[in-house]
Chains A and B, each alone.
Chain A
């Protein structure tokens, strides 16, 4: 109604306790998502204190055997290789979070930097950088990452890298990060382009502020809500990507990962479904947590879109 919308803000208002505060206060999905993410974080931090077994402890093989049903010693039973399922799940949370945060740290920094430069500078810089980003958007990323991870794990045999702990996991994180920046760059650029033309940015220029000041104090804070939503989504996506790589058997043999648990136990699904369903469920709730959090953040960032 024309008579009702006399105050449409081009950018969201500042929230009293920041974006997260508003997300938690106003959005059901945001609260549930935050709860799930916190659950995984707590498991990752304190999980190892809750189990007497080391992650690579196969001693259960002698005590109760493989694919054992739940018992007082092994609450969720053991898997095909004689690992304690609960222990593996707890340690898997660490791997998942490290992958998610590590990959997004790379893609987020690269994306914001490249997108920000493209959006702020415009012109030829923008053209070139965005063509570059577009290229990363139409490359079959997953296929390439699979090949590189495998080839690299083979190629380092006999070199100094071979002894590096978690080398494969590092490669996976790097690859997911390096191939994941394009969506963030595109979003950042779009927001920069939009906000750059708003009058308060021009006012800042008229007020003699330097380009750096304008980007850091005028544009970036107003672009951040949209970027944060995408980052939350990408954390979930990175965790899922690692799970898929591990599920196909190209994960890091030294790391405990939910995807790898599936890879090892999938063949005996019929015999002992817990060993496959439990790690699958963990991946599910972790990804769900980040997706719901993103949904809630998105509502908090654009409160009007929701209400109308």
Chain B
């Protein structure tokens, strides 16, 4: 009952957020100039009449506000329009390129969480020891390492010097590894996944360690010890549940942002994902594609943070009361 009301409130709130975000995206991008004019600016010999004609064709002669509502209406019918450069429906493009992005993002997130929980807990239980110091040092370096720099180093070492992994693409163009598309795909995923994981592992390990140290200091852990619980049981049954709360929030953010952070990753590895598509769309000023991709990324982010909040409330009974 209480939980139901909380979920309902979160969902309504998410809907409002989505509306605001769509407005920001639409007006920020569209108020800066007529897309057709901008696209044709460098093409010589285009008359104003031609610009007006094409503008009318795309409905750009209508007032901005009206265009916004038309756009929203189309979005609600899942009609994202047609890409100008590719002449394909934007919805379909987002789906197929987006799947490629998830192919590296989701394994990376799963890997990061698994590694971080182990490493963070391990370090927290050895606070101020040499091992803890090593973990913390690595974490601090990892957090400051710009993703693309790490990617470049990985490519240089593992592709160019050692030649173990491919440096670009999602699949071999000539000969598949071991003749299998599956193995070949996995082979191509190794470096991008490693690059994405590295930063997440650093941040999450720090998060787990800090919260674990904090939790282990709390009185209810002392109670568990005084009740004769085994140390492993205390970590698993009592402390980890507490530590998972901020981890869930962060992982929700990662899942929500996974398409939003992909432009850099996918550019480094020439990975045919949504981020790379977005960079291309911006270069080409392909308006339907730009707006389609950014609204999908925004909606995804809001949905994920909302789901996280709901999950959080299910674990922590105190939140539901607010």
A–B direct contact (CB < 8 Å): yes
Q: Cβ of B282 and Cβ of A135 under 8 Å apart?
A: no
Q: Cβ of A143 and Cβ of B297 under 8 Å apart?
A: yes
The digit string for A266-289, where 1 denotes a CB below 8 A from any CB of B, is 100110010011001101100110
Residues of the B chain whose Cβ atoms lie less than 8 Å from the Cβ of A135: 17, 20-21
Smallest Cβ-Cβ distance to A134: which chain B residue: B17
Smallest Cβ-Cβ distance to B287: which chain A residue: A151
The digit string for A80-103, where 1 denotes a CB below 8 A from any CB of B, is 000000000000000000000000
The digit string for B276-299, where 1 denotes a CB below 8 A from any CB of A, is 001100110100001001100110
Cα distance, A29 to B144, chains bound together (Å): 13
Cα distance, A244 to B199, chains bound together (Å): 15
Instruction: With A29-B140, A288-B141 as known contacts, state yes or no: A142 contacts B261, CB within 8 Å.
Output: yes
**Interface residue SS majority, chain A:** helix
Give the segment of A52-60, A116-124, A152-160 that binds chain B: A152-160
Instruction: With A262-B148, A273-B156, A284-B149 as known contacts, state yes or no: A154 contacts B41, CB within 8 Å.
Output: yes
Residues of the A chain whose Cβ atoms lie less than 8 Å from the Cβ of B263: 142-143, 146, 248
Cα distance, A249 to B160, chains bound together (Å): 24
**Interface residue SS majority, chain B:** helix
Q: Cβ of A143 and Cβ of B32 under 8 Å apart?
A: no
Tally B residues with Cβ within 8 Å of A.
46
Q: Cβ of B28 and Cβ of A144 under 8 Å apart?
A: yes
Cα distance, A295 to B206, chains bound together (Å): 12
A244: min CB distance to chain B, Å:
5
A106 lies within 8 A of chain B by Cβ = no
Q: Cβ of B152 and Cβ of A262 under 8 Å apart?
A: yes
B70 lies within 8 A of chain A by Cβ = no
Residues of the A chain whose Cβ atoms lie less than 8 Å from the Cβ of B24: 139, 144
Cα distance, A147 to B24, chains bound together (Å): 12
B114 lies within 8 A of chain A by Cβ = no
B305 lies within 8 A of chain A by Cβ = yes
A247 lies within 8 A of chain B by Cβ = yes
Residues of the B chain whose Cβ atoms lie less than 8 Å from the Cβ of A276: 152
Interface residue ranges of A278-308 to B (CB < 8 Å)? 280-281, 283-284, 287-288, 291-292, 295, 308
A74 lies within 8 A of chain B by Cβ = no
20 CB-based A-B contacts, threshold 8 Å: A29-B140, A135-B21, A139-B21, A139-B298, A140-B294, A140-B298, A143-B263, A143-B298, A154-B33, A154-B38, A154-B285, A269-B152, A269-B160, A273-B156, A273-B160, A277-B153, A283-B146, A284-B146, A287-B144, A288-B140
> What 11 additional pairs, Cβ within 8 angstroms, besides A144-B28, A280-B152, A287-B146?
A29-B140, A142-B260, A146-B278, A150-B282, A151-B32, A154-B38, A158-B41, A243-B146, A248-B267, A250-B282, A262-B152
